[in-house]
Every structure is written in structure tokens, then in C-alpha cells.
Amino acid sequence: MKIGVVTVNYIDDAVRNISRFAELLSLVGLPELGENYRKEAEKLNRDRSDQTINEVGDWIRETFKYQGSGSLPDRYVANPDGSADLVLTAEYRDLMHTLGAFVEGKTLSP
């Protein structure tokens, strides 16, 4: 665990990334999971202890485990006509990688 300003920035980045991923989950058809991500972001924002960082990371890891049809990597953000929104889908995929780095305790820059 880093200390001082670096820790604050690390956690602020994590909260921001988890919150944004929560919004995007609603757009890929997973609003309930998105709400749970939002709750985890709030939890981390309230309690920045190592224990909470680990708990949130473990929770995210669990949501990433399933890799079959309909899994998180299998989804995309759709436009109203059903076509892929390439910009939001790219952001969604970047955030998946960024949150994967958070789970592994690495930096959070996408």
C-alpha cells in the first residue's frame, strides 16, 4: 500500500473508475450489477482502509470470473438502433482492463 497523496489519488481513481464502469454496465444490459458496482465504489470512498481495498478488489475479481456467453468481456454498448457504440464500448473495455489492474494492485491509468 502506498502512503500519502499517492494513496489518495489511487483510491480516488479507483472510485471514479468503478463508478463509471457501474454506469456503463447499465448500458450493456446489466443494471443490477451496475448498481452493485456503484455500492462498492461508495463503500471504498467511505472507507479507504487496506481491508476495504482488498474486499472491493475481491468482489470485482468475482464478477470477472465468468468468461462465457454474456460475460462482461462479451458485452458491448449499443446505440438505439442496436449497432455498437464504438466510443463507449472502447471506454467499457478500457475500464475492464483498468479494474483488472486494480484487482491485481497495479496502477489505475487506463
pTM of the model: 0.87
When pLDDT is cut at 50, 70 and 90, the band that residue 106 belongs to is low
- pLDDT digit string, tens, across residues 81-96: 999 999 999 999 999 9
Written as one letter, the residue type at 36 is N
Q: What is the DSSP letter of 84?
A: B
Q: Domain ranges in the chain? A: 5-100
- Dist CA 13 CA 109 (whole Å): 8
**67 CB-near residues (< 8 Å, 6+ apart):** 73, 74
Residue in this structure with the C-alpha cell 472502447, named with its chain if needed: 90
